[in-house]
Amino acid sequence: MLKNYLKISWRNLVKNKAHTFINIAGLSLGMAVVMLISLWIYDELSYDKYFKNYDRIVQVMQHQTVNGDVNTGTSIPIPLGAKLRQDYKGDFKYAVLSSWTEPHILSHGDKKLVKDGNFMQPEAPYIFTLNMLRGSRSGLNDPSSILLSSTLAKAIFGDADPMNQIIKIDNQLTVKVTGVYETPPYNTSFSYIHFILPWDLYLTTRPFLKRVQNNWGNNSWQIFALLAPNADINNVDAKIKYIKRDNLKLQGDAFTLSYKPVLFLHPLSKWHLYSDFKNGINTGGKIEFVWMFGIIGLFVLILACINFMNLSTARSEKRAKEVGIRKTLGSMRNQLVGQFFTESLLMAFFAFLFSLMLVQLTLPWFNQVADKRMTLLWSNPWFWLIGIGFTLLTGLLAGSYPAFYLSSFKPVKVLKGTFKAGRFAAVPRKVLVVLQFTVSVTLIIGTIIVFRQVQFTKNRPVGYDRAGLIQAQMKTNDIHSHFDAVKNDLFKSGAIAGIAESDSPLTGVWSNESGFSWRGKPPGLLDDFGIIPVSYDFGKTAEWQLMEGRDFSRSFATDTSTIIVNEAAAKFMNFKHPVGEVIKWEGQNVTIIGEIKDMVMSSPYEPVKPSIFALLPYKGSFINIRLNPKIGTSAALGKIEAVFKQYAPDSPFDYKFTDTEYASKFEDEERIGRLSGFFTVLAIFISCLGLFGMASFMAEQRTKEIGVRKVLGASVMNLWGLMSREFVVLVVISIIIASPVAYYFMQNWIKNYKYHADISWWIFAGTAAGAMLITLLTVSYQGIKSALMNPIKSLRSE
């Protein structure tokens, strides 16, 4: 019996090639999308699972309240580390202080590399159960040691043994390799940390670190910890909540206390997907995208299944005769149900094979778009189990309606030719088409709004000219100590139009301070300013826009006690004309000499933070260079590198283009936009395949009607209208349903961005017009084809 089912199913597939193609193509595209999305979701959900202590690793974070807004961050003060290590031994198996991940120059012989790494206390490798390929996890106990990732060890030493080799850090510190750990996979929070240096070594690098050992008010470091085996995160949370507050009280630091610090633990399982905090509450983060793509995937699969059902039932009248004959010859209804299920399962199985091929072919591209390194899990039995289970489910789901509908035909009627699907037989099909287009139109509107938001933010005036600017982080003193000579040589070479130092890059604000006072400051107002120490010529190099006053100048000896503020700062201090105002900063009086237009340095989606620019009293972390626009970029870069090599022979010339750095702030949103765009195109394509199938079926069904109308004098245009009208009505209904749905969801999404575009009416109008156009193009081919047919032929076919 099964053989007979398979045989007839196969022949049906082969005989109706177009129908089969539409069905299998649609279904396999749907399956491929679901597979890609599942891989993506799997990858997101397995983030950081590489770490064996996944369930017990935590980071200490804190909430602070500024003028009613709760800010949440990972920076904590140094003495908290010792406190947790000494007084909370029962709660934490390990707790380690860590610096931020920063680039450093690593040199060994002639090899010089700039790589990111951290200074951490010696138990860090135990917390993260680093897989040691050489040496042991105790390697950091020696204060002049370094642990390297296997990738970095290979890059520096090649195939030679790295153990006990000497490496110089930033041309200052000398350390010995005491271990090599397997580089954590890309989907971990540690994939960018290429080496770990001992915390004790860190304390020797900067004198001020000694001073802040007991300062509970300076939040500039991080703490990672491993909970003790029996510790409950909520209990520990409650215990540590007010440690900082209590110690500030002891130290009598009323000012920092006014920020109401509250400590808490953020578990590793939430670092990646739940990283957003709003007003002290964990509001999610990337998990929203997991949900969003999960839902899109489900919808695309439903679209594909709808196609299948629609086309199969649409063709049912053709298969009615077969059903009738089989019933006459003694087939039971369940045997027919079995036959139609065999057919749908066979098709689902082919679709599964095709979807595997499609995924294999598109994965490299998809990885690029999604910024992932996913692979098909060929050798994972779960993959096959789920894949095949999913194929069966799809086959059964897609085949259920045709199976039960077709098998219910009465043989007498179909064999006598009196069988005609009733007036309402097409209603379910129409509902399904409406559902398909509702999903597609919603996706189109959503994608347009995402892209528009990105574009809108990209076009936001940034307050300086980022084209032709490069920035280089300075890890050594070489350039700073010869700054004037470097500057002269660079100008002489004709490579640059400006050069200046700063302590933050132009694409970030790395330092914040509070406790300023100014004329008319309301009592109790908490302030928080971005601080950007810069050298002379910074403004000229960045081409910032002065609104009033002047730039820093060497001609004024007093400029070391002056500042320049941005518009946001002037507004915050409530100064219409800030120039000349005197501000008290760390007990010193400083005078505002200029006000500049807001420069977008942090998130382009957020309002610009009130910021203060002051002259650098020491070496800046960054050198900003404006390339001479009159010569080519590569020529200019060559000349700059030559000069840098002359003054800093031991540092690689490691620079970044400011506009590229700025553009990277849009990566997440652009990636989401591209992904949803990709899925939208597929959803539309699948819906159109279905529409095309339906149109060809309708044309076939109405051949006689068209013939009669033509004989009676209908023009091709009349007939085209007749054939298209029905579909246009369905799409209009879809648009009417989809528009408010899309508006509701996108309104909620866009509200997350303080700087955002409006959701304009033209997005909806444009989408409606586009959907209509696509519909007409899809159905017109069949409509016109049947309208052009010789009526004699169509009438004879009855």
Site for another protein in 204-233 (CB under 8 A): none
Q: Identify each DSSP E strand in 272-421 by its residue range.
A: 276-278, 281-284
Shortest separation between residue 399's beta carbon and another protein, angstroms: 18
Angle at 536 between CA 530 and CA 538, to 5 degrees: 55
**332 sits near another protein (criterion: CB under 8 A):** yes
For residue 329, state whether it binds another protein (rule: CB under 8 A). Answer: yes
Single-letter amino acid, residue 540: K
* Least gap, CB of 424 to another protein (angstroms): 15
Q: Considering the complex, what minimum distance in angstroms separates the CB of residue 328 from another protein? A: 5
388 CA to centre of own chain: 30
Residue found by looking up tokens 């081409």 in the block: 543
Judged by CB, which is closer to another protein: 411, or 707? 411
The window from 328-336, 421-429, 636-644, 658-666 that contacts another protein (CB under 8 A) reads 328-336
Is residue 4 within the footprint of another protein (CB under 8 A)? yes
Minimum gap (Å) between residue 706 Cβ and another protein: 24
Of 619, 622, 602, residue with least CA distance to 471:
622
- Binding residue count for another protein, defined by CB under 8 A: 24
Is position 702 an interface residue for another protein (rule: CB under 8 A)?
no
Establish if 373 lies at the interface with another protein (CB under 8 A). no
Q: Which residue has the tokens 């941005």?
A: 566
The beta strands (E) that lie in 610-719 are given as 611-615, 622-627, 655-657
Token digits for 343? 């057919």
Binding mask 281-320 vs another protein (x if CB under 8 A, - otherwise)?
----------------------------------------
What is the nearest approach in angstroms of another protein to the Cβ of residue 417? Answer: 8
**Toward another protein, which CB reaches closer, 273 or 336?**
336
Comparing CA positions, the residue from 597, 465, 434, 483 lying closest to residue 541 is 465
The 3-class SS string of 154-173 reads: HHHHCCCCCCCCEEEECCCE
Contacts of 509 (CB under 8 A, 6+ apart): 530, 531, 532, 601, 602, 609, 611
CA pair distance 114, 117, nearest whole angstrom? 10
Separation between Cα atoms, residue 236 and residue 234, nearest integer Å = 5
- 333 interacts with another protein by CB under 8 A: yes
For position 769 contacting another protein by CB under 8 A, the verdict is no
Pick from 52, 278, 416, 793: which binds another protein (CB under 8 A)? Answer: 416
Is 331 among the residues that bind another protein (CB under 8 A)?
yes
Identity (one letter) of the amino acid at 205?
T
State the Cα–Cα distance between residues 104 and 140, nearest whole angstrom.
Answer: 18
Least distance to another protein, CB of residue 43, Å: 45
Q: Is 11 or 492 the residue whose CB approaches another protein more closely? A: 11
CB of 408 to another protein, least distance (A): 10
Query: In this complex, which beta carbon is closest to another protein, that of residue 254 or of residue 329?
Result: 329
Nearer to another protein, 347 or 441 (CB): 347
Q: To the nearest whole angstrom, how small is the minimum distance from the Cβ of residue 790 to another protein? A: 22
Three-state DSSP state, 510: coil
Distance of alpha carbon 582 from alpha carbon 563, whole angstroms: 10
Q: Per rule CB under 8 A, is residue 326 in the interface with another protein?
A: yes
Minimum distance of another protein from residue 392's CB (angstroms): 25
Is 411 one of the binding residues for another protein (CB under 8 A)?
yes
Q: How far is CA 36 from CA 24, 158, 537, 672, 721, in A?
A: 18, 36, 51, 14, 39
Which residue lies nearer to another protein by CB, 332 or 777? 332
Q: Smallest gap, in angstroms, from Cβ of residue 1 to another protein?
A: 6
Q: Does 328 bind another protein (CB under 8 A)?
A: yes
- Phi and psi at residue 623, to the nearest 5°: -115, 130
Answer yes or no whether residue 8 interacts with another protein by CB under 8 A.
yes
Q: Report yes or no: 578 and 613 within 8 Å, Cβ to Cβ.
A: no
Q: 142, 276, 288, 322: which one contacts another protein (CB under 8 A)?
A: 322
Q: Which is it for strands 111-120 and 57-66: parallel, antiparallel or unpaired?
A: unpaired
Summarize as ranges the residues that interact with another protein (CB under 8 A). Answer: 1, 4, 7-8, 11-12, 15, 321-322, 324-333, 335, 411-412, 415-416
